[in-house]
Structure 1
């Protein structure tokens, strides 16, 4: 074993998983960028559901290779069921199976201002001018049964406006939470927005993003669709700093967290 492999930590990036193959391709691209960003780390990927490899199998592989320490970074935008219940349960079960393996769970990517910056950058990428005061942004999020997670998603809208002249922004949800896209569109039009932009608060494309775009397409045929966050450099920066923070690299984590989106 060479000196580099001795020094390297293990980062396990855990994504939700989806039947849609576009989702896995996007997660794989994010993980590849993490590897380029952090050549000092052994970076692996696992999925909570519907996609292989599973969290359990990756943790078993890590333990079988004799790795003693691993940090799990959830590639999740909200701290709801998967981050608060599902993933911790999987890690607790792995600790029972592999008592010599020390596992740390990092914070979710969440609404870190770099993540909001990535969302804003995707809107710019769609050809929207920061000085265009006719723009109304519908931030489309997945929605959750966890009320505080939805509140944080709702608060994203006003943060997206920072540094722009856009008219208004409102968060809507792809699931049964309020407001739905029709209500969000009505709010934007009431605020005087004439150019509607759909900004998906999703890491990867999938059935839910397709549903949102289709619904807005019916409501407003001229709406501009921004891309999902994908492997934007800000996303990779946040993954890196979540790993560092979980491993008590406080100086590096503080330096990274101060970077403006």
Structure 2
């Protein structure tokens, strides 16, 4: 019995660095599981689309497909866009099943990646002292999604025993610059910014610009294509693949 195909679904961006990063992450996943058919897809702004990838997989003979959304919070894209795109792709072909898993979320392992990217930024800027952190995420009109980023900021700050403020690139305050200025108003002078993004693009670039203007000493790059993220993708896939198994088959 052939294992379900795995589609790694990202939001997409006009910035080519974003698609290149997602493709590189997909390649890491494929190397970890060479027995699986693994393909990247994008909701918008980049290609291939989910429809295009599902069409290709069906043409190859796959009838079961697991879609792992590369999203860090349960916001509008996770609740509406991804399920709608998956349903539309499934409706294009009779007899196939497209299973959408939980989003990546903000896993404990991701703090290790944030630390790695932060150390890289500190070395590049020759920074040896920190007394404050900002953790910047995309931002959402969904307060639950923003609360997840705020919890992550507290957890990351606790790892380093430093005051840490969550910031957002859009849709919610504070912006990265505002967060840096708030820490400076509290007497902090060596403030670095972590980037809670998977890939480069307009939003992380904007975070960097605003944070440096406000006096941040270093701004980390997005998490990027990393083994730990690939492992979480495969963990989500494993649950989704089990969910495709009919209940009667599990107890036969």
TM-score range, shorter chain: 0.7 to 0.9
Structure 1 residue 192, shift from structure 2 partner: 4.3
TM-score of the pair, normalised by structure 2: 0.88
TM-score of the pair, normalised by structure 1: 0.85
1:134 aligns with 2:103: no
1:74 aligns with 2:82: no
Structure 1 residue 190, shift from structure 2 partner: 4.4
Aligned to 1:257: none
Unpaired segments ≥5 residues, structure 2: 244-252
- Between the aligned partners of 2:218 and 2:42, the Cα distance in structure 1 is 31
- What's the CA shift string for 1:28-81, capped at 9, x where partnerless? 111111111111211001100011100111112222222111100011111111
Aligned to 2:220: 226
Aligned to 2:230: 236
Query: Do the aligned residues in 1 keep the contact of 2:72 with 2:103 (CA within 8 Å)?
Result: yes
1:157 aligns with 2:153: yes
What is the SS of the residue equivalent to 2:135?
Answer: strand
Aligned to 2:240: 246
Unpaired segments ≥5 residues, structure 1: 1-5, 250-261
Aligned pairs for 1:46-61 within 5 A: 46-61=41-56
1:22 aligns with 2:52: no
Aligned to 2:175: 180
Aligned partner of 1:109 among 85, 91, 104: 104
Aligned pairs for 1:181-220 within 5 A: 181-220=176-215
RMSD: 1.9
What is the SS of the residue equivalent to 2:37?
Answer: strand
Query: Do the aligned residues in 1 keep the contact of 2:50 with 2:89 (CA within 8 Å)?
Result: no
Structure 1 residue 114, shift from structure 2 partner: 1.4
